């Protein structure tokens, strides 16, 4: 593929993909911290149920989740019709629907690393903060989270990379609307179906390079290699 042809390629699937990944990662980070905190320290009887629900996207086929999202969000369904009638919101075949589905589908990739990091902190550290009169919020934000930076970074990167690579859920709930729901994974699939391997290679190469760079950065940071390099 020549340089001019690359420049003339439709960049909207790439832009939409990273827009979706960034927004999903940001919103999920805000939601995952209190949920992971509760899972790490709660002794509630319903904790196993919540942990099961959070972990289900890890084992369920994406098409199964996508199918139920499609049914739930459809205007012909009670919930979808309620959203449409009262709030004018249609989640099926919309970018908003992609964001909501991506948050649910990527939930364990953000929650599990943060939960694991919090669980690994000695309980004495939290108890010492309480004895000093610190509130739970202050203890979480000023004591606990700063001590699990590698876990936070892992959760952020895994969520971002997982969202970038989504296909089944995106196809079911969003379809392939150019500039609206047609992300890079859908574009690659359609280009391969049309035997446009050059275009498919273009989109795939960009995702491959960026994903590799992000994951490499995580391993360098968590492994302390960057600190050694700058010494």
Q: Is residue 1 part of a domain?
A: no
46 falls within a domain: yes
Sign of CA dihedral 127, 129, 135, 136: negative
Would you say residue 223 lies in a domain? yes
Tokens of 35: 């949920």
CA–CA distances in Å: residue 86 to residues 73, 75, 81: 14, 12, 8
Burial (CB < 10 A; 0-12, 13-18, 19+), residue 46, is exposed
SS (H, E, C) 58-109: HHCCHHHHHHHHHHHHCCCCHHHHHHHHHHCCCCCCCHHHHHHHHHHHCHHH
pTM of the model: 0.85
pLDDT of residue 141: 85
Secondary structure (DSSP) of 210-228: HHHHHHHHHHHHHTTHHHH
Q: Are the beta carbons of 25 and 156 closer than 8 angstroms?
A: yes
Annotate 154-163 with b (16+ C-beta within 10 A) or e (fewer). Answer: bbbbbbbbbb
pLDDT in tens, 78-101: 777 787 778 777 788 889 889 999
92-109: burial string, b at 16+ Cβ within 10 Å, e else: bbbbebbbbbbbbbbbbb
Domains in the chain: how many in total?
Answer: 1
CATH number for the domain that contains residue 63: 1.10.3720.10
Query: Is 2 inside any structural domain?
Result: no
155 belongs to a structural domain: yes
In angstroms, the CA 28 to CA 165 distance is 16
Residue 67 lies in a domain: yes
Round to whole Å and give the CA distance between 16 and 98: 11
Considering the domain boundaries, does residue 5 fall inside one? no
**Where is average pLDDT lowest: 6-10, 114-118, 137-141, 187-191?**
6-10
Q: Is residue 99 situated within a structural domain?
A: yes
Look at residues 51, 48, 36 and name the one whose alpha carbon lies nearest to residue 140: 36
Rounded mean pLDDT, 68-74: 84
Give residue-wise pLDDT tens across range 8-37: 567 889 999 999 999 999 999 999 999 999
pLDDT, one tens digit per residue, over 187-210 is 999 999 988 888 889 899 988 988
Give 183's pLDDT tier (boundaries 50, 70, 90).
Answer: very high
Enter the DSSP assignment of 49: H
The pLDDT score that the predictor gives to residue 53 is 92
Q: Are 167 and 62 in contact (CB under 8 A)?
A: yes
**Domain limits at 221?**
10-230
């Amino acid at each position: 593929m020549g340089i001019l042809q690359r420049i003339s390629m439709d960049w909207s699937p790439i832009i939409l993909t990273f827009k979706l990944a960034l927004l999903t990662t940001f919103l999920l980070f805000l939601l995952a911290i209190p949920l992971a905190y509760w899972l790490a320290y709660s002794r509630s009887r319903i904790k196993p149920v919540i942990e099961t629900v959070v972990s289900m996207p890890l084992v369920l086929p994406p098409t199964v989740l996508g199918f139920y999202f499609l049914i739930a969000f459809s205007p012909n369904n009670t919930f979808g019709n309620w959203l449409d009638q009262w709030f004018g919101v249609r989640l099926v075949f919309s970018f908003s629907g992609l964001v909501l589905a991506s948050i649910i589908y990527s939930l364990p990739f953000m929650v599990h690393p943060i939960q694991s990091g919090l669980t690994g902190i000695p309980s004495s550290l939290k108890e010492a903060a309480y004895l000093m009169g610190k509130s739970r919020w202050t203890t979480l934000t000023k004591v606990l989270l700063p001590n699990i930076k590698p876990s936070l970074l892992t959760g952020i990167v895994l969520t971002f990379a997982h969202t970038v690579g989504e296909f089944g859920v995106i196809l079911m709930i969003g379809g392939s609307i150019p500039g609206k729901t047609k992300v890079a994974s859908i574009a690659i699939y359609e280009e391969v179906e049309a035997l446009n391997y050059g275009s498919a290679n273009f989109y795939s190469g960009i995702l491959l390079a960026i994903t590799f760079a992000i994951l490499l950065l995580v391993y360098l940071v968590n492994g302390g290699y960057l600190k050694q390099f700058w010494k």
